[in-house]
């Protein structure tokens, strides 16, 4: 773990890069599950998001905020809880966008592949949920807030 303090802008840039990687993982998984394996939207997004959450945790504790994975069990629980809330937001937004904008419409074809409204919905949802994820993950991982609260609670 480096003792060098990361600038907030550096954290944001790393978070965006990691988020891009996780978005790619999520998009490929959700499209493969929906169109390749024929699963419904809800299940496809859920499974893809769980894979992306695992990848995001690894990137967060190893690269964005190095060493924070050693902050204790409450930090891991906090990461999981904020991720599950983000997942709930993701599911709700995908449901709403699917109902409002549709899913199956082909927007355009790129390199012989149809780009559908479903894929656009995934992109829109990801951007919105990204804000939730950055601020909550930073608070939980970097500030070690939950473990400090637990130690304070134990002293009472």
Other Cβ atoms less than 10 A from the Cβ of 124: the count is 14
The pTM of the whole model exceeds 0.75: no
30: tokens are 């959700």
> Tens of pLDDT along 95-109?
999 999 999 999 999
Tell me the C-alpha distance between 156 and 152, whole Å. Answer: 7
3-state secondary structure of 67: coil
Tell me the C-alpha distance between 130 and 18, whole Å. Answer: 11
> Tens of pLDDT along 16-51?
999 899 989 989 999 999 899 998 888 898 899 889
């Amino acid at each position: 773990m480096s003792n060098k303090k990361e600038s907030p802008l550096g954290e944001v840039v790393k978070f965006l890069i990691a988020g891009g990687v996780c978005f790619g993982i999520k998009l490929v998984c959700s499209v493969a599950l929906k169109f390749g394996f024929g699963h419904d939207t809800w299940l496809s997004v859920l499974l893809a998001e769980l894979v992306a959450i695992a990848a995001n945790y690894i990137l967060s504790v190893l690269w964005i905020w190095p060493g924070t994975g050693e902050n204790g069990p409450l930090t891991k629980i906090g990461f999981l809880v904020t991720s599950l809330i983000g997942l709930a937001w993701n599911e709700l937004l995908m449901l709403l966008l699917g109902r409002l904008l549709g899913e199956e419409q082909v927007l355009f074809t790129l390199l012989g592949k149809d780009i559908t409204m479903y894929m656009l919905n995934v992109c829109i949802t990801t951007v919105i949920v990204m804000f939730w994820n950055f601020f909550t993950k930073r608070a939980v991982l970097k500030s070690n807030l939950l473990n400090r609260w637990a130690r304070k609670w134990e002293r009472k």
